Structure 1
Amino acid sequence: MSEPQRRLLMQLRIEGQASRSRLGQLMGTNGATMTRMTQSLLALDLIEEGANSDNSVRGRPTVPLAVSARGGWAIGATAQPGWLELVLVDFRGRPLVHDITPFDSPDPRAFAHAVETRLQALAARHGFMRGRFLGLGVAVPGYALPGETGRRAVVDWLSGWSDIPLGDFLSDALGMPVWIENDASAAGLAEFYQEGIIGRYRSILTLFLGHGIGGGLIAERDLFLGEHGNSGEVGRLFPGHLDRPSGIDLLRILREAGEAIDSLAGIEGLLETRAPLIAAWIERVVGQLELAILSGIVWLDPGAIVISGALPLPILRRIAEGLETAGRNRDSKYRAPLPRIHATAIGSKAVVIGAAMIPIHAVTATGG
């Protein structure tokens, strides 16, 4: 698509819905040009007309436009310890299917086979049309290595994924367009597209607290990856041999207290029985993350910060509240605007939803 068409799509994602005249004002485009653009996007089924709800206006009614859910669909995939997670989203970015299946192999060929098998089953069950398919986004827990081949250093339990051109490999194996992105960056993209975020902020920082800790940055409504593709490698601030603000760290503390727990999913059931221990951990984590948050604020001046992750939502909310309070106390006499700190609404699904949003974002983002 042309750059103006991408801008129009992004503006509709921001606004939710808008009239042609409103879009023309926002984009600085005259009526004739706007009519031509909207006609072409309507013909492609990328946008749609809504019903005019204002019956009090005389003359020609104003018909709102919105992004069409039928414009296409995309898949997000990620491998977790013990399972494969998939999400299918429509062109509006709404999750249609969330699928989890057992998976435990470090071999990328096994991953490709598992994805293909599940997609065939889901397509048969839900009737998705291949012609509307935009691509597959894969979220990977690892950082980019030097060079232009898409190679990454990946966690040990996915050792077969390390230092290979993973995107090309999976694209060839699956016969479809594939995007590869760091899991925390993918989570940042998902959080940005949430209602109440994309319409209010141009730039956000996301901290994702899962097994480890990572960050994602949206700058001027696009995913910012940095010079080497490793923007948001927050985990480097917290060496692995020390206490870290991560899910693995909380699991260790709970085990040392006598709990037989081996996954983040089990923490939810201990929120009441281990409340004092978890509260102490949250207090420590807020103190650790405060400097990381402050550094992001002074360097990047984001509109908002989102605390996301695979930890239970009550824990993430309390961390966000603690950081919000710490920021107010630190900057009580600072008069410049400060970002709001939000807790995620989608939690652990942020990674796989963000992976699915990568192909959608590639169609919408200007210059993408």
Structure 2
Amino acid sequence: MKTGTRTALRPELLLSEPQKRILWHLRAAGPTPRVHLAEAMGMNGATMTRVTQQLSALGLVEERDSDAATGRGRPMIPLAICGRGGWSAGATLHPGWLEITVVDFAGTPLLRDSIPFTDPDPRMFARALDTQLRALVAQHGFMRGKFLGLGVAVPGYALQGDRNRRKMVDWMAPWNDAPLDEILGDVLGVPVWIENDGTAAALAEYYRPQIVGAYRSVLVFFLGHGVGAGLIAERDLFPGEHRNAGEVGRLFPGHGPRPSGIDLMRELKEAGAAITSLSEIAGLLESHAAVIEAWADRVAAQLEQAVLSGIVWLDPGAVVISGALPQSVLDGLATRLDAINTARDRGYLAATPQIHASTLGSAAVVIGAALAPIHAITAIRM
């Protein structure tokens, strides 16, 4: 994938604030005629025409067919985000395998791939990823357009406020305090964004049409091998002073029961189940229903204060329960937390956030990693 020297690794797409505002409006509201865009954004018609023509020339927006008639003259043609405007890739490392996803500019996942991988060296990870991305580029014609960058989601918190230097889980110890953007960027030769896996999951959840179109701020919990979270505030990632906002795993020390998928696996094993990965939980939903229900009751109680704290500080429009767990388990946790919040908030007259269960499952992390370059290029900084 290498295309140039290390010093040249910058996003290829630089947008103005008016261009970003239009893209975000279209992402949130869906296809919209120029006249309505101008009204919503306080722009005059000439400015709107000029800016949308620029976006169209970049391939980032396109006109859509419209059945609406205006009575006379040309019908109002809606503009929409154009997926062909570019593509980005996301990657994450699991024990024993490497996962890759590609998304287009609209945020639509185009493919999801995985390969066996066990080497803990980040340079070897970069080389394996480079080889696999080259193979995917050769196989898929849609990837001949503008490449916007690579996002890598990692299970580790930032050190010294540097998103590119992190303390990782034990099996990724060689990644600790390494300049990951330089290491990966030097091998791959592309712009690289490093994100915590909970933050990446939050980005994926927020870009779902039913979420981005309804809310400006969202709190996301991701339950997988550990427990993490991410915050979207006013349509942008909220990193925190030290870039560790959402590091909720600290609330649940590893020496005790935790609201994580690995914790559920442990309980299932203690109940006699032969299980070696999170993906096998779905096959135990009926045979071990009582164990899973008891675990969900306990986890909802554990998460209550974390959810409540996030709600009172962030005032989000929604809370999303995401993770590498079966859909029915995520649904059950969301239902339990909603019931807890409803009971506690009885008599509270202000609006309270909706609690949603994710439908992305374990893919949320790698999809969010792939969205990181697109978000970085288009986000409106307050």
Task: Please give the range of the TM-score, normalised by the shorter of the 2 chains.
Answer: over 0.9
Question: How far is 1:56 from its partner?
Answer: 5.9
Distance 1:21 1:149, change over 3 A: closer
**Deviation per residue, 1:294-337 (Å, 9 max, x gap):** 11111110000000000111101100000001110111111110
1:151 match: secondary structure: strand
Instruction: State whether structure 2 residue 314 is matched by structure 1 residue 300.
Output: yes
Instruction: State whether structure 2 residue 141 is matched by structure 1 residue 127.
Output: yes
Question: How far is 1:149 from its partner?
Answer: 7.2
Question: How far is 1:128 from its partner?
Answer: 4.2
Question: How far is 1:7 from its partner?
Answer: 0.7
**Deviation per residue, 1:50-77 (Å, 9 max, x gap):** 1121136322210100011111000000
1:166 and 1:180 in contact (8 A); partners too:
yes
Distance 1:329 1:259, change over 3 A: same
2:231 match: secondary structure: strand
Instruction: State whether structure 2 residue 245 is matched by structure 1 residue 245.
Output: no
**Deviation per residue, 1:207-256 (Å, 9 max, x gap):** 00001000010000000010000000011011111111111111111111
Q: Which of 305, 312, 327 is equivalent to 1:313?
A: 327
Mapped partners of 1:149, 1:215: distance in 2: 16
Paired position in structure 2 for 1:51? 65
For normalisation by structure 2, the TM-score amounts to: 0.94
Mapped partners of 2:125, 2:142: distance in 1: 21
1:145 and 1:151 in contact (8 A); partners too:
yes
Mapped partners of 2:37, 2:171: distance in 1: 48
1:144 and 1:153 in contact (8 A); partners too:
yes
2:349 match: secondary structure: coil
Mapped partners of 2:360, 2:205: distance in 1: 8
Mapped partners of 1:293, 1:24: distance in 2: 38
Amino acid at match of 1:58: R
1:202 and 1:303 in contact (8 A); partners too:
yes
Paired position in structure 1 for 2:91? 77
Mapped partners of 1:270, 1:345: distance in 2: 19
Distance 1:154 1:44, change over 3 A: same
Paired residues, number:
368
1:71 and 1:91 in contact (8 A); partners too:
yes
Unaligned runs of 5+ in 2: 1-14
Paired position in structure 2 for 1:284? 298
Mapped partners of 1:111, 1:203: distance in 2: 34
Amino acid at match of 1:303: G
Q: Which of 209, 223, 226 is equivalent to 2:223?
A: 209
- The farther-off stretch of 250-259 and 217-226 is 250-259
Mapped partners of 2:212, 2:43: distance in 1: 22
**Deviation per residue, 1:145-168 (Å, 9 max, x gap):** 015472100111111111101011
2:236 and 2:381 in contact (8 A); partners too:
no
Mapped partners of 1:53, 1:130: distance in 2: 32
Distance 1:318 1:98, change over 3 A: same
Mapped partners of 1:137, 1:284: distance in 2: 34
Paired position in structure 1 for 2:345? 331
- The farther-off stretch of 229-238 and 155-164 is 155-164
1:104 match: secondary structure: coil
Amino acid at match of 1:186: A
2:19 and 2:51 in contact (8 A); partners too:
yes
1:179 and 1:358 in contact (8 A); partners too:
yes
Q: Which of 111, 130, 138 is equivalent to 1:116?
A: 130
Mapped partners of 2:42, 2:180: distance in 1: 41
Paired position in structure 2 for 1:224? 238
1:196 match: secondary structure: helix
2:211 match: secondary structure: coil
Distance 1:262 1:149, change over 3 A: closer
Q: Which of 154, 159, 179 is equivalent to 1:165?
A: 179
1:140 and 1:183 in contact (8 A); partners too:
yes
Q: Which of 269, 272, 279 is equivalent to 2:283?
A: 269
Paired position in structure 2 for 1:182? 196
Q: Which of 87, 106, 114 is equivalent to 2:120?
A: 106
Q: Which of 184, 200, 209 is equivalent to 2:214?
A: 200
Instruction: State whether structure 2 residue 170 is matched by structure 1 residue 156.
Output: yes
Unaligned runs of 5+ in 1: none
Mapped partners of 1:195, 1:162: distance in 2: 36
Amino acid at match of 2:128: A
Amino acid at match of 1:74: S
Mapped partners of 1:322, 1:230: distance in 2: 27
For normalisation by structure 1, the TM-score amounts to: 0.98
Mapped partners of 2:283, 2:74: distance in 1: 58
Amino acid at match of 1:306: V
Paired position in structure 2 for 1:322? 336
Instruction: State whether structure 2 residue 147 is matched by structure 1 residue 143.
Output: no
Mapped partners of 2:155, 2:243: distance in 1: 13
Mapped partners of 1:149, 1:276: distance in 2: 41
Paired position in structure 1 for 2:33? 19
1:347 match: secondary structure: coil
1:105 and 1:158 in contact (8 A); partners too:
no
